[in-house]
Structure 1
Amino acid sequence: MERVILHSDLNNFYASVECLHQPELQGKPVAVGGSVERRHGIILARNTIAKNFGIKTGEAIWQARQRCPGLIVTPPDYGKYIRFSKLAREIYRDYTDKIEAFGIDENWLDVTDSTRLFGDGEHIAHEIRRRMRAETGITVSVGVSWNKIFAKLGSDLKKPDDVSVISPDNYKQRVWPLPAKELLYVGPSTRRKLAKIGLYTIGDIAAVSPAVLTGLLGKWGEYLWSFANGLDTTPVSILGTESMIKGIGNSMTTPRDLENNEDVKMLFYVLSESVAERLRSHCFKGSTVQIHVRDRDLVTIDRQAPLNTHTFVSSEIAEKAFEIFLKNWTWDKPIRSIGVRVTDLVIPDGCTQLSLFDADNRRLKKELLEKCIDDIRSRYGHYSTQRALMLKDTELNANPIEENVIFPVSYFR
């Protein structure tokens, strides 16, 4: 029996939730963003009206207001967004237990077995769409296909509040003419590499020899070829069995431009302390550190590297982050935002390779020290104890966290 996969994408999620909680915003251009005063002025989400003015996520608020002087910007409230995300999952749960998160506002659903009770995939998708609007007040776009990649692509084809079906009979007409960037996991770097050899559409990727893509992109090229040809067979995880937390990370837009390594090093420690604290609170260690760096012209790099062992020690995370930075940043322009994430998580005291030397004893002492610091901060506040390094510039160290996020899925391509 051919699989029936849905991808559900809550429309303009943050902005939609804010408009529900603030009825006076209805009918106006609304965006969710950071603080302009502290230079956290990035658009995180926008409603359809703001989108019609050409406002994009990730751009500076001052730029958005040039196109839309009447734009209303409200700060994010992640507690509300998590609540609505859970409400959406309760609706999905009525149709299947095979639900896999792809961010706070997106989910894959395998409804293959449910078609016997509720009708075909398109019918189930429309039913979910109608229920979402009636029961939560927000809208959803749903893609229907026989694999996860095309279902995800389908949810992007018609927005808001609509359903798109990509089937074995129509995918060559609907999918292949689309730009290569529309294929999941084709980021800016991969898109540029593909364009250099004349591959501009998903159809171009599907038609080229897999060996060409492997030579260009390594093993990932083979995956992209199979995705473009509809050959993805990745299963949808059963709710409650998948690892919901794939990574934990923090990022910040800096109060001033960073122009030297010392500033960057200090902020990596600031961010890594928060990341490590959250790792410990969720009972995880990680073995891969990822960094995100954006210059003042909004040109961004994302890089990652493995640690020697799984850790939740902030100094080890910060040192690795700074090491990655030094290898990849050329200081052509000042920096306006940076981030740190830790992925490849395991439960502490699980299957971790031990050292034959004294490194494990030293690490144990570091872990005990950081747990003691957690206890102190839980009683007297986060800033009751700090590294001396962080006192060099109180402006950079003051309330820095813009993004403090648990990542259900984290890809850097």
Structure 2
Amino acid sequence: MVRHILHCDMNCFYAAVEMQRHPELRNKPLAVCGSQEERHGIVLTANYIAKPYGVKTGMAIWQARQKCPALVVIPPDMGEYIRFSRMAHEIYEDYTDQIEPFGLDENWLDVTGSVGLFGDPMHIAKEISERIKFELGITASIGVSDNKITAKLGSDYKKPDAITYIGQENYKEVVYPLPVEDLLYVGPATAKKLRAIGISTIGRLAECPVDVLIRRLGKMGAVLHTFANGRDISPVQRTDHIPNIKSVGNSATTPRDLENEADVKLMLYLLAESVCARMRELASRCTTVEIYVRDTRLSSLTRQKKLKAPSCSSQELTEVGMELIRRNYHWDYPIRSIGLRGAGLVEAQESVQLSLYDDDKRRDKWERIDATIDSLRQRYGYMSIRRALLDTDPLLGRINVKDGHTVHPVGFFGG
């Protein structure tokens, strides 16, 4: 049975919402940007008037203003964006309950079972597009296909306010000439590896022998080969589907650059405490620790290590994080932002082989200390009890990483 999948992507979402709220800005170049005071001063999204000047997502505000001196900069209002996202979701629910979010502004819809009620998938896409425009005052681009990956290529193919159908009959004509970076999960690093072996388009990727890709990219090579050939059997998850949480992480752009290991250690303690507290809330322990750093050139590094035994000890996660930093970061430039993640979560109640080794006794002791700290903070507030180390740097030590969360997109693989 052929599936009918839509991918709805609301155009320049944050900027579109702001232009709806502030009609006087509709004809001006506009960008929604993070806080410069908190060193989050980057462009989150820009409208279609600003983009021809070269204003791009992820660009520093000062760079954006160099390219577009008349740029209007607005701080983000996540509460309002969430409200608009929910209103769009209510529109989608009129056509199907199989809706899978990919961030606030993107959703996959499986309308296979709806065509008998509402007409063919292109007709449904047109209705949804018109309703978003009329009811929310913003526009959306919609891709229509028989799978999620190709539907997303369709929504990206033409913007703004467009509907693109990609089926088996026109797949090669539309998709093969596209740059390989347009395919979901081909990021800059993967694209560089592919271009190094002469693969610059999705068509070249689709025609490349899969064993060559596996040698170059590992098992992800086989996945990308399947995607490039327009094959994807992953289901659109139902609205009420709750995926298993496989990892917990936190990151922070620091109020000043981290210049040495002492700075990094302080930040890792803060991050590890919040990550481990979240794991205990989920009654879980992690089996892998991952660190992420981005330097002042905005170049990033990610490394991970498997633990000998599952853990939710902030002390152990910090020590492993420091080990990864010492092995892999060479301090050519200071660090601007840093993250820590506990991955491969298992149930905390899962049976663990008894041990008399000192490392295991130490882990158990630190986990019990962390649990006691959780109880004190729950009763008296986050700042009621802190490590003495944090007072060595008043600027970094006062960061509340547990409550300072950012809204991140939902990952395609559910990780």
1:13-40 superposed Cα distances (whole Å, 9 cap, x missing partner): 2233333344454333322222223322
1:216-238 superposed Cα distances (whole Å, 9 cap, x missing partner): 11111111111111122112122
Structure scoring higher RCO (CA < 8 A, sep ≥ 6) equals 1
User: Matched residues in 1 for 2:393 and 2:17: separation?
Assistant: 37
Alpha-carbon shift at residue 163 of structure 1 (Å): 1.3
Q: Which residue pairs with 2:411 in the alignment?
A: 409
Q: Which residue pairs with 1:200 in the alignment?
A: 200
- Amino acid in structure 2 at the alignment position of 1:293: V
Alpha-carbon spacing, 1:238–1:369, altered in 2? closer, same or farther (3 Å): same
**What SS does the corresponding residue of 1:333 show, helix, strand or coil?**
coil
Q: Which residue pairs with 2:152 in the alignment?
A: 152
Q: Which residue pairs with 1:340 in the alignment?
A: 340
Q: Which residue pairs with 2:86 in the alignment?
A: 86
| Residue 35 of structure 2 is aligned to residue 31 of structure 1 | no
Moved more, 21-30 or 325-334: 21-30
Alpha-carbon spacing, 1:70–1:5, altered in 2? closer, same or farther (3 Å): same
Alpha-carbon shift at residue 101 of structure 1 (Å): 2.0
**What SS does the corresponding residue of 2:169 show, helix, strand or coil?**
coil
User: Matched residues in 1 for 2:217 and 2:43: separation?
Assistant: 32
What does 1:1-400 correspond to in 2, within 5 Å?
Answer: 1-243=1-243, 247-281=247-281, 285-345=285-345, 348-349=348-349, 352-357=350-355, 363=363, 365-399=365-399
Is the contact between residue 245 and residue 408 of structure 1 (CA under 8 Å) also seen in structure 2? no
Alpha-carbon spacing, 1:54–1:361, altered in 2? closer, same or farther (3 Å): same
User: Matched residues in 1 for 2:74 and 2:233: separation?
Assistant: 41
User: Matched residues in 2 for 1:43 and 1:111: separation?
Assistant: 34
Is the contact between residue 390 and residue 398 of structure 2 (CA under 8 Å) also seen in structure 1? no
Alpha-carbon spacing, 1:360–1:124, altered in 2? closer, same or farther (3 Å): farther
Scaled by the length of structure 1, the TM-score of the pair is 0.89
1:116-141 superposed Cα distances (whole Å, 9 cap, x missing partner): 21122222112111112222333222
- Amino acid in structure 1 at the alignment position of 2:354: L
**What SS does the corresponding residue of 1:404 show, helix, strand or coil?**
coil
* Percent identity over paired residues: 52
Alpha-carbon spacing, 1:71–1:282, altered in 2? closer, same or farther (3 Å): farther
Alpha-carbon spacing, 1:85–1:291, altered in 2? closer, same or farther (3 Å): farther
Alpha-carbon shift at residue 203 of structure 1 (Å): 0.7
- Amino acid in structure 2 at the alignment position of 1:334: P
Alpha-carbon spacing, 1:134–1:299, altered in 2? closer, same or farther (3 Å): same
Alpha-carbon spacing, 1:221–1:281, altered in 2? closer, same or farther (3 Å): same
Alpha-carbon shift at residue 156 of structure 1 (Å): 0.9
User: Matched residues in 2 for 1:240 and 1:89: separation?
Assistant: 13
- Amino acid in structure 2 at the alignment position of 1:356: L
**What SS does the corresponding residue of 2:191 show, helix, strand or coil?**
helix
Is the contact between residue 180 and residue 201 of structure 1 (CA under 8 Å) also seen in structure 2? yes
In angstroms, what is the RMSD of aligned CA positions? 2.8
Alpha-carbon shift at residue 360 of structure 1 (Å): 6.7
Alpha-carbon shift at residue 66 of structure 1 (Å): 0.8
Alpha-carbon spacing, 1:387–1:165, altered in 2? closer, same or farther (3 Å): same
Is the contact between residue 289 and residue 321 of structure 1 (CA under 8 Å) also seen in structure 2? yes
1:285-308 superposed Cα distances (whole Å, 9 cap, x missing partner): 544443332221112223344444
Moved more, 251-260 or 54-63: 251-260
Moved more, 144-153 or 386-395: 386-395
Alpha-carbon shift at residue 347 of structure 1 (Å): 5.8
Scaled by the length of structure 2, the TM-score of the pair is 0.89
Alpha-carbon shift at residue 267 of structure 1 (Å): 1.2
- Amino acid in structure 2 at the alignment position of 1:218: G
Alpha-carbon shift at residue 403 of structure 1 (Å): 4.8
Alpha-carbon spacing, 1:60–1:412, altered in 2? closer, same or farther (3 Å): farther
User: Matched residues in 2 for 1:89 and 1:318: separation?
Assistant: 40
Alpha-carbon shift at residue 323 of structure 1 (Å): 3.1
Moved more, 141-150 or 99-108: 99-108
User: Matched residues in 1 for 2:247 and 2:57: separation?
Assistant: 22
Is the contact between residue 376 and residue 384 of structure 2 (CA under 8 Å) also seen in structure 1? yes
Moved more, 268-277 or 51-60: 268-277
Alpha-carbon shift at residue 45 of structure 1 (Å): 2.0
What are structure 2's unaligned runs of at least 5 residues? none
Alpha-carbon spacing, 1:398–1:159, altered in 2? closer, same or farther (3 Å): farther
Alpha-carbon spacing, 1:277–1:87, altered in 2? closer, same or farther (3 Å): farther
- Amino acid in structure 2 at the alignment position of 1:404: T
1:63-86 superposed Cα distances (whole Å, 9 cap, x missing partner): 111112232333333333333322
Q: How many residues align?
A: 411
What are structure 1's unaligned runs of at least 5 residues? none
User: Matched residues in 1 for 2:278 and 2:18: separation?
Assistant: 27
- Amino acid in structure 1 at the alignment position of 2:54: G
**What SS does the corresponding residue of 2:55 show, helix, strand or coil?**
coil
